[in-house]
């Protein structure tokens, strides 16, 4: 593992290519899943949408090295969702289902989409999380980062950044890139046992530099740079960057 020269909250893992990065992340995911299942009997995995993780999900499906992934004991959760139907082009669940879930031996009842188009979507997701993850500790959360440094659907200046207790909430209004969203919140994300932020490509380099500068100066502000609000209480955060993103 290279530590890179960026100063970010958590560990920084830089791989020379995106392909290598997917392998490094997949290896960690398989090990974490096996260890969680041995200790606690299940692995609660929360996945992000967006374009970055899609090739990673494909890799998990097609590469024989990752067939060891213990899917029958894994629960898949969705980090955030646009308030659109599940067959909509913009639905994160649609992408995660088509690229991953439909191709692995996971139990249907262990897949937890956010029913984001329904009016009580956030309440339902809070209830479902409480039923299956009573202590609020997801085992592994895969996050991405937007060019404005948002993560999940926690956008700069948006109301969900200030949520103090609920695990999932609606995020809408000023600051939220349309359409409206339902998102996991800091109180849940920061209780996870492991978090990985996957960032690839030169287009994210400037954002990483901004985050790095703010962290170095001790001036990280989640209202402006929501990714800096990811700071686990008692878990491990690792940034997975390819060389194009890390610069
Ligand atoms: C989403 C996300 C979001 C994403 C970033 C990065 O639904 O869009 O969950 O937080 O991870 O916007 O998106 P890209 O990977 O498309 O750059």
pLDDT in tens, 212-228: 999 999 988 999 999 99
Task: Please tell me the distance between residue 146's alpha carbon and the centre of ligand 1 in angstroms.
Answer: 6
| Residue ranges of the chain whose pLDDT lies below 70 | 1-4
**Mean pLDDT rounded to a whole number for the chain:** 96
Q: What is the pLDDT of residue 88?
A: 97
Of 15, 91, 106, the C-alpha closest to 61 is 106
Q: What is the pLDDT of residue 1?
A: 44
Question: In the structure, which protein residues have their CB atom closer than 6 angstroms to any atom of ligand 1?
Answer: 48-52, 79-80, 92, 144-146, 150-152
Task: Please tell me the distance between residue 68's alpha carbon and the centre of ligand 1 in angstroms.
Answer: 27
Q: What is the pLDDT of residue 220?
A: 86
Q: What is the pLDDT of residue 194?
A: 98
Task: Please tell me the distance between residue 69's alpha carbon and the centre of ligand 1 in angstroms.
Answer: 24
Using CA positions, which residue lies closest to atom 8 of ligand 1? 50
Q: What is the pLDDT of residue 29?
A: 98
């Amino acid at each position: 593992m290279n530590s890179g020269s960026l100063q970010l909250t958590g560990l920084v893992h830089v791989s020379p290519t995106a392909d290598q990065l997917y392998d490094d992340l997949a290896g960690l995911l398989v090990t974490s899943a096996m260890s969680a299942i041995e200790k606690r009997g299940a692995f609660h995995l929360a996945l992000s949408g967006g374009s970055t993780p899609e090739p990673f999900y494909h890799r998990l499906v097609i590469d024989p090295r990752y067939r060891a992934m213990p899917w029958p004991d894994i629960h898949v959760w969705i980090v955030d969702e646009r308030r659109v139907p599940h067959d909509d082009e913009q639905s994160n669940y649609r992408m995660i289902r088509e690229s991953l879930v439909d191709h692995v031996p996971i139990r249907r009842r262990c897949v937890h989409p956010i029913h984001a188009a329904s009016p009580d979507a956030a309440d339902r997701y809070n209830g479902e999380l409480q039923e299956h993850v009573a202590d609020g500790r997801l085992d592994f959360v895969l996050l991405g980062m937007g060019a404005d440094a948002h993560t999940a659907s926690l956008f700069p200046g948006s109301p969900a950044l200030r949520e103090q207790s609920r695990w999932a909430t609606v995020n809408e209004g000023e600051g939220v890139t349309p359409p409206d969203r339902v998102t996991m919140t800091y109180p849940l994300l920061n209780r996870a046992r492991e978090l990985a932020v996957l960032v690839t490509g030169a287009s994210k380099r400037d954002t990483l530099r901004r985050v790095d500068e703010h962290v170095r100066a001790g001036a990280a502000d989640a209202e402006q740079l929501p990714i800096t609000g990811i700071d686990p209480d008692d878990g491990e955060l690792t940034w997975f960057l390819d060389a194009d993103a890390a610069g």
